Amino acid sequence: MFSPDQENITTPASTKVPVKYGELIVLGYNCSLPNGDRGRRKSRFALCRRPKASGVKPSTVHVACTPQAAKAISNKDQHSISYTLSRAQTVVVEYTHDSNTDMFQIGRSTESPIDFVVTDTVPGSQQSHGGEGQTQTQSIQSTISRFACRIICQRSPPYTARIYAAGFDSSKNIFLGEKAAKWRTQDGQMDGLTTNGVLVMHPRHGFTQDSKPGVWREISVCGKVFTLRETRSAQQRGKMVESESQELVDGSLIDLCGATLLWRTAEGLSRTPTVKHLEALRQELNAGRPQCPVGFNTLAFPSLRRKEILDEKQPWAYLRCGHVHGYHGWGGQGREPEDEVVEVGRERECPMCRTRGPYVPLWLGCEAGFYLDAAPPTHAFSPCGHVCSEKTAAFWSQIPLPHGTHTFHAACPFCVQQLAGESGYLRLIFQGPLD
């Protein structure tokens, strides 16, 4: 199986396909942003080897407000990081070109140095139920930094990717003001943390069927690993964890305080189901002609393209027992479907087993990069109703995702709604055709 990008490549051998280091996928979007992917603002971003190396590495350190320091800051062709210690003292670290690496920058800013523009993810913003897309992303106050982080990839195998907090602005500068957490290291260098921090979690046993959650850490401006601060923007840094690295592995999660990204390596993606495979699983599921045990009508998952618009054949499920039905108007107040859709998820009684629970439409999880295996979609997250394989559901239900400035909770990767119930997911019970 190949990744979605690879399956479409039918170019002759003479055409060089760029080397792909990996992809970043934003949690909460089931294949595309609510208003569609546009330019550098999209739900997934491929990091490929650039025609010319774009990486930088630290070189000269200037202490205090010397003429060299001022020159380094004003020189638009020179990357630099400025650490303001007091009004009288600034340390400026100059960075030089590194011909062995490529640099990619992520943040909220739409300025040209940002390769991948990321905005705050609103939980359930894709759950339109009839096409009324909720795009509150612009109106809420963003907590994502304009220049949030940078990823440096080795241009030669094994194409190691390393993450650092903060990105260079249009003047090729990173400024850490007086209030930012910063310090001198034992070897006399400077380091610091950004306001809301860049958190990383590497899963144990990679991104496979055996994956287990790792521990969330904070990454510094120079790429060192620290335990978490008491809250996201606390002045006091955590303890340095020398045994751990800022190297990204397949399945690493990066949290920018408002959006969480999943890093998939090119090798990891080559073992992941493709969109084509998910479509085949959908067709196979529909070919089994699952039926509503009440209305006896045949149910069908809508095509992946119509993934958030309710269809009359749409499967619905009771989230306490897992019985799958077509839409029906009894067990609640007996209203018409049009009125009911507004109250998706309110408690109703399952006609099959009399268990009361939320009653929701089921949606296939279409973002292949979130899947741990290629098994059939048999389980649904609660309370959103996104359907995927059992191993995938089990993995994501164990992952504590950062929420706000100091809390964590498990969420559905396809819509980032907080999971509910004992395990956060359940097995679906389909009724086969009677003939």
- Using the predicted structure, report yes or no on whether residue 226 has a pLDDT greater than 80: yes
User: In the chain, which residues fall in CATH 3.30.40?
Assistant: 275-329+344-427
pLDDT at 73: 65
Q: On the CB side of 408, how many CA atoms lie within 13 Å of its CA?
A: 16
Q: Check residue 118 and give left, alpha or beta (phi > 0: left; psi -120 to 50: alpha).
A: beta
pLDDT at 289: 92
**Is it true that domain 275-329+344-427 has CATH number 3.30.70?**
no
Q: For 341, phi and psi rounded to 5 degrees?
A: -55, -35
Segment 288-303 mean pLDDT: 88
- Using the predicted structure, report yes or no on whether residue 129 has a pLDDT greater than 70: no
Write the CB contacts of 349 (distance below 8 Å, at least 6 apart in sequence): 331, 355, 356
Write the CB contacts of 65 (distance below 8 Å, at least 6 apart in sequence): 88, 89, 90
Condensed to tens digits (0 to 9), the pLDDT of residues 23-74 reads: 999 999 988 787 777 889 899 999 999 999 999 999 988 876 665 666 666 6
Do the beta carbons of residue 129 and residue 361 sit within 8 Å? yes
Query: What's the farthest any 2 CA atoms get from each other in the chain?
Result: 86
CB 13: neighbour CB atoms within 10 A? 6
What DSSP designation does 255 have?
A: E
- Using the predicted structure, report yes or no on whether residue 128 has a pLDDT greater than 70: no
Q: Is the peptide bond before 157 cis (omega within 30 degrees of 0)?
A: no
Condensed to tens digits (0 to 9), the pLDDT of residues 146-201 reads: 999 999 999 999 999 999 999 999 999 999 988 889 999 888 889 999 999 999 99
Write the CB contacts of 419 (distance below 8 Å, at least 6 apart in sequence): 381, 382, 383, 397, 409, 410, 411, 412, 425
